[in-house]
Structure 1
């Protein structure tokens, strides 16, 4: 079926795979695994449907599953680092110093890793893994369809010679803001599970509602959107540039930058 979109999506079969991986060598391994999972899943789903939104939904969710399996341990450690406050117990791990004052043992990353392993073993680094999947799989699954949707809408509102890369750079943050708004409640619960050592997502949700009401589910949303904006622009511009540079020679002239 011929694609009638104003900004044609560069699919997996349009790429010169050798160029794609040569140019992509400068990216981190995590980003490459995210991108590869997304593209291969889109290709697989394309055998069953031509619906771009559905392809993006399934591929985005699959890519997020791979990404979270890599990043959850890092996230668990960083969450404790961010929650650290001198002289107070902000998590489960505190020690008594000689002066009798409570001192967080999370002064260094090494100490955090050791304490988590002592308390929970290897599984401690995957505390909140299910909560993370319930947060980021939907986040990624809806980000991609909204990204293509915003890019298409912006394209229809701007002159034809407007750089597509600029429209895509704007669409990325818009999609991120939308996805963040939809998934923020689960993200708040995920943070509590990981930092406070809770084991039940449902009980954590009930406790949050009882303590702070529905507004507690919006905590950190503005900061999340603000922090996602610059990184999303960089990722989108890098990702789309990588795909355009990796196009097969016969398709180079068919894609507008």
Structure 2
């Protein structure tokens, strides 16, 4: 019974890689589609000045639904769906780095911190250009056109909404570097977030396993541990996440100036903008991710190891 309580981590060498990658694409896409509306709401809340349009997460949800319809909650989704590439890069990097670090340390916290931070670094290199384009599309429903993209006069709002035209505007206004606007801020947000989430996830899972009955399914405990870890990591990294989104949407190139402007406009509370939406969006995201990811690893186990892992 005691062995049942020890949650065993399925490592890279335990997996059938063909199954892992095949099912992983479906998992990543499912997660993106499920939580995209909350991501859109978070972006709009973080960019708005004060409470000029929305008074909070739920107010934003109902206003968008009323004025733009259900499709408004999925503005930019087609572009954002390309982040499935970064999703695959993330989980692959995480597993490979864990395996590499295990050659030097068997401490799970060390492996989780290094692998989580490394995975975020790799994933953001793919994600930032996609975010820059999709975030501009997220903002279109408000009728706003960012100042740094107002070079081409007379362009119709309908044409402006086309992805190809939007990419052309970003390139004309800022060149290739325009697609990596806020890249440094993204790294300063997601590397600490990834480095914090994984060790907290394993920590909470182990603590819950000590409190739960011996016959409690491990997957349930992991599904509970995921949101707890996400909330912890989000509270730590949200200030930089607000700065990141503003830089990518408004075209600022200075983390320091964006931070100072945010404080001047909204005070210290400005650093919590979008936090509730981030936690709300991260909760189903993480539950789906944890259940999907742990299930993915379970079904991807090499046949001879299937009976050696508790479920």
Residue-pair matches, total:
252
Work out whether 1:75 is the aligned partner of 2:127: no
Unaligned runs of 5+ in 2: 28-83
In structure 2, what is the Cα distance between the partners aligned to 1:139 and 1:241?
Answer: 23
The 5-angstrom pairing of residues 49-198 of structure 1 reads 49-85=105-141, 88-94=144-150, 96-97=153-154, 106-198=160-252
Which whole-Å deviations, capped at 9, do the CAs of 1:80-118 have from their partners, x for residues lacking one?
1222355544442236559xxx96974232222111011
Aligned to 1:33: 89
- Higher RCO, 1 vs 2 (CA within 8 Å, ≥6 residues apart): 2
Change (3 A) 1:221 1:88: same
Work out whether 1:20 is the aligned partner of 2:20: yes
In structure 1, what is the Cα distance between the partners aligned to 2:274 and 2:154?
Answer: 33
8 A contact 1:88–1:103 mirrored in 2: no
In structure 2, what is the Cα distance between the partners aligned to 1:56 and 1:50?
Answer: 11
Aligned to 1:6: 6
Task: Tell me how far 1:174 sits from its aligned partner.
Answer: 1.5
Aligned to 2:64: none
In structure 2, what is the Cα distance between the partners aligned to 1:221 and 1:25?
Answer: 28
Work out whether 1:43 is the aligned partner of 2:99: yes
Aligned to 2:275: 221
In structure 2, what is the Cα distance between the partners aligned to 1:20 and 1:9?
Answer: 15
TM (normalized to structure 2)?
Answer: 0.74
SS of residue paired to 1:59: helix
TM (normalized to structure 1)?
Answer: 0.89
Change (3 A) 1:122 1:233: same
In structure 1, what is the Cα distance between the partners aligned to 2:186 and 2:215?
Answer: 41
Q: Which has the higher helix share?
A: 2
Task: Tell me how far 1:254 sits from its aligned partner.
Answer: 2.1
Task: Tell me how far 1:73 sits from its aligned partner.
Answer: 0.8
Change (3 A) 1:58 1:4: farther
In structure 2, what is the Cα distance between the partners aligned to 1:214 and 1:104?
Answer: 38
Which whole-Å deviations, capped at 9, do the CAs of 1:163-214 have from their partners, x for residues lacking one?
1111111211221111111100000111111111111111211222222221
Which whole-Å deviations, capped at 9, do the CAs of 1:118-155 have from their partners, x for residues lacking one?
11112111111111111111111111011111111111
Aligned to 1:210: 264
8 A contact 1:6–1:152 mirrored in 2: yes
SS of residue paired to 2:213: coil
SS of residue paired to 2:175: helix
RMSD: 2.4
